[in-house]
Amino acid sequence: MMKLHNFISLFTGLAIAFGITAIAEQPSYAGNTTFYCEKNNGIPTTFARTEDGIKLGIIRWVSNYGASQQWTPEKRCYEVSRRFQVNYDRGTLKFITTGYIRGVPVICASNQPNASCTDDTLLFSLKPGTNPNGTLRRLLDRRALATGNAINESSQQIYVNFEKYLKDTKTRFNR
């Protein structure tokens, strides 16, 4: 009987230890927004699901740019959705901005205005010769940008407060 009691105590202790480890290793989502790719009317789309369960379409992947390098719209959708999540989890998706990395126009995440795009904050690259500011304006709903989310706009770079963009989009969605 004593062996059974010791076994149960050991098993319970291990279960608690593994449970604590599993909980400690869960990513911390500030606000619990998740990003994922899903087809919407047959078009791969990057979505955000907010902490209150609202599903918001962020980017519809209709361009075949990069298809020659095996970057189909669906593959781009999955990869960019993953990058949104990684940057969100790291706290670097407070703003979305434009820039250039190695001469290629890009859209990237930033944790503050006036930060430069880096490989770590890259969300996705654009076709050479593309105007990244124009692309960012087209990607994000103009009504949300009109509410004051474009906090800094110049001929060289814009910054969109992405946290406010999500909040304003949710507000419009719930009307």
Read off the pLDDT of residues 64-118 as tens digits, 9 standing for 90 and up: 665 566 788 999 999 999 999 999 999 999 999 999 999 999 999 999 888 899 9
Q: Is residue 115 part of a domain?
A: yes
- Average of pLDDT values for 42-66? 86
Q: What total number of domains does the chain contain?
A: 1
Task: Examine the pLDDT at 144 and tell me if it is beyond 80.
Answer: no
Residue 2 domain-assigned?
A: no
Query: Is 114 inside a domain boundary?
Result: yes
Of 105, 118, 112, 103, the C-alpha closest to 159 is 112
pLDDT at 109: 96
pLDDT above 70 for 50: yes
For residue 11, the Cα-to-chain-centroid distance in whole angstroms is 40
**In which domain, by residue range, is 98 found?**
34-173
Task: Write the DSSP symbol of residue 156.
Answer: S
In a domain, 13, yes or no: no
Round to whole Å and give the CA distance between 173 and 151. Answer: 22
Decide if 20 is inside a domain: no
For the residues of 97-119, what is the DSSP string, one character each? Answer: EEEEETTEEEEEEESSTTPPP-T
**Residue 145 one-letter amino acid:** L
- The answer to whether 123 and 84 are in contact (CB under 8 A) is yes
- Kindly report the CA angle at 92 between 86 and 98, in degrees rounded to 5? 100
pLDDT score of 134 = 85
Smallest Cα–Cα separation from 154: which of 127, 124, 117, 114? Answer: 114
- Residue 133: per-residue pLDDT: 87
For residue 155, being part of any structural domain is answered with: yes
Contact 149, 124 (CB under 8 A): no
Predicted TM-score (pTM) of this structure: 0.74
Domain-embedded: residue 83: yes
